[in-house]
Amino acid sequence: MKLRPRVALTTAVLMLPLAAIFGWVDAQVRERAASDVLVADAMTSLEGDARARCEASPDEWVRAMQGPGRSPPRDPGMFPPPGPPGDPQDRLGPPPRPRPPPPGDAPNAAPHVHLYPLDADLHPSASMIPPLDPALVAAARAGANEVRRRSPGPGRPNEEALLRTPWGTGPCAYVFAVRPAAPTTEDPQLVLRVWGAMLVALVAALLLALGPIIGRIRGLAARVRASARHQYRDRIEMSGDDEIEELAAAFDGAAREVRTHVDAQERREQTLRDFLANTTHDVMTPLTVLQGHLAGLRDGARFDPARVDAAIDEASYIASLVNNLAVAARLEAGEPHLVRMPVDVGRIVERCVSRHRPIARQRGVEIACAVPENVVRVEGDETFLEQAIGNVVFNAVQHNHAGGHVAIVVSELSGGARFRVRVVDDGQRLTDDEIAQLGAPKEDAARTRRRDGHGLGLGITRRVVDLHRMTLVFARSELGGLQVDIEGERSSSETRGEGA
Amino acid sequence: MGQRILLIEDDAALGQQIVGHLRGAGFETTWLTDGKRVHDGEGFEVDLLILDLMLPGVSGFDVLKRFRDASDVPVLILSARNDGETRVRGLKLGADDFLTKPFWPEELLERVRARLRRPELQRGDAIESGALRIDLRTREVSVSDASVALTATEYAILAAIARRRGAPVARQALVELLDSDKEGADRTLDVHVSRLRKKLGEAGAQIVTVWGIGYRLGVSE
């Protein structure tokens, strides 16, 4: 259901019971007011010499109370025939002083109150008295000084009250006060029409007020749809300073979030595509070389150890390349997710040496490492850190010569607050420019990698070191080749063997 | 009888190669192609478990958890997956070391020996290396039962490299044992080691200079 009919229906459904409740409350208030006026009028009539006149001649007093031209309550069956003719004012003294009409009621709609005396046992003292409701009598006998009721009448009901007089004895100990029903001026249909008109006016006003709101909501829906068509690249904005504008801002925030996820997903997919393409290209080439060596071994007339070494070299390179490509894929896919945990740097270095020792031995390169007695722990991603240090070790072995050396030393610095992993070799000597280039970050590691270079591997090392807030420094080694220092903050200290 | 190793590896070619290398190195090796038996409560009477994570049926992690519930012997994980999550999960379940595929046979054997080796530090014990004997408690050094008189500095250097026998100790760590200032100590370390070698006689040859690092006592690990 659209917003307009929904609001109209809701308003109508809510207003009908509300109107009924208001009408009922209004009627109750009116009835209470009429009853209060009846009692007040009756009590006023009992002031002055009313007692003496009533006790002297109850019938006369009754007639005097009805006054000239006053009509009895409009239920003839309830009253005896009228009393003797004559002007009761001549016989009973002056009539009661005029009373003001009840507030809010027209004088002709509020006839005078009729009073009928009863004795202390609630027996009528006058000959002319309408029948009393037994409930009123019972309540008065129970001790109530004032009992009220409404009796049915034509148009408007009669107001009745049984009141104990201020003196409370004699033939006029009680009075039965009745305000005869007056012709009502209220037309029920008119009341319904007024309420109906108010309801219609209210609904119409609501629908009119809803117009601009619905227009703004439709505008917002159109903007959201347009933004969705352009993969949420368009801003969702609405003018104004209301809830619709807040809703638009919320949609805009959600759209930006969706856009961020979509971008990240696209980057991941692109990274995966690049990874597959690079892996296919870079692995296939050394694999082809490896196949060539194996074919040569199969077809060769004699066993050639150099060819076996070359094949092993290719296999080692392929393994290193695939590992680096996998790490690069994780590093290049947006913000890399580091699995941080306390990592033993000494264990990492020992594993790196263990991994590269077979290929170093084959190349005639001696490789060794030293770690301090105290365990050097850092908070970091063990896989990334191992790959980063391993790449430096791999390069030191690869860019070396038979009879060369590679040494890795883990040291505690600054009294144990920091650590350093130093990889030194006595292999290929580099110029100052070449060393400076090693320290410079590459824009695209994948494109700068080359078979004989440090592109991909050192690019990964540089990125991992940055992610762990460590430093990477290249220098010429005093021992002949390259010296690479990785330094960082240590997270805890303990003796090796106790917690390692 | 060699130390017993249980290998759980589903790949026939790789499993056969690993078994060959381990038996060749003197280890008594049992090879299973899945983890069902371990998961069912068998195979715990070994000195080391080599476990491949990617197994048919029961996963390597489940096998590791079941094994660790029943045994404290070292577990070496073999995995082609080299990501942090896998490694952390393995370590949390009680793995002692990870070996990422592909690996060289020598690397596997080195890792296995490292896991089966006794703790490196031998504080409070006497360390023996060939004819050389160092009593860390009484600070007495002897070669072929003949006592050798060393200066405090010489003893400190010898004890430092003896405590990590077979593993190189960095010069920086040894220099810190000397009393003289750093510049002088760095130069005099070699002098102290030279004197130490002379005093130890034939056993002095066990103090090996390690290129780029420092010194080592005994054969390389």
pLDDT in tens, B134-164: 998 899 999 998 999 999 999 999 999 998 8
Which of B97, B102, B210 has its CB closest to that of A368? Answer: B210
Residue ranges of chain A with per-residue pLDDT less than 70: 67-111, 153-156, 181-188, 278-279, 282, 300-302, 333-335, 441-455, 492-500
Distance between CA atoms of residues A57 and A357, nearest Å: 139
The minimum CA-CA distance between B40 and chain A, rounded to whole Å, is 31
Determine whether the interchain pair B84/A338 forms a contact, defined as Cβ–Cβ distance below 8 Å: yes
Determine whether the interchain pair B121/A382 forms a contact, defined as Cβ–Cβ distance below 8 Å: no
pLDDT in tens, B88-139: 899 889 999 999 888 888 999 999 998 887 554 444 578 888 889 999 889 9
Q: Judged by CB atoms within 8 Å, which residues 300-359 of A form the interface with B?
A: 315, 319, 323, 326-327, 330, 337-339, 341, 350-351, 354-355, 357-359
In this complex, is the C-beta atom of A41 within 8 Å of any C-beta atom belonging to chain B?
Answer: no
pTM of whole model > 0.80?
Answer: no
Phi-psi region of A405 (alpha: psi -120 to 50; beta: other; left: phi over 0): beta
Percent of chain A's residues with pLDDT above 90: 26
The minimum CA-CA distance between A346 and chain B, rounded to whole Å, is 12
What mean pLDDT comes out for the span B77-85? 84
pLDDT in tens, A119-133: 988 989 888 888 888
- Is residue B47 very low, low, confident or very high in pLDDT (cuts 50, 70, 90)? very high
Q: How many CB atoms lie within 10 A of CB A148?
A: 20
The mean pLDDT value of chain B amounts to 87
Determine whether the interchain pair B106/A387 forms a contact, defined as Cβ–Cβ distance below 8 Å: no
Q: Any bridge partners for residue A405, and if so which?
A: A366
Q: Given this model, what pLDDT does residue B83 score?
A: 80
Tell me the chain A residues in contact with residue B97 when contact means C-beta distances shorter than 8 Å. Answer: 351
Determine whether the interchain pair A359/B102 forms a contact, defined as Cβ–Cβ distance below 8 Å: no
- ipTM score here? 0.84
The minimum CA-CA distance between B208 and chain A, rounded to whole Å, is 12
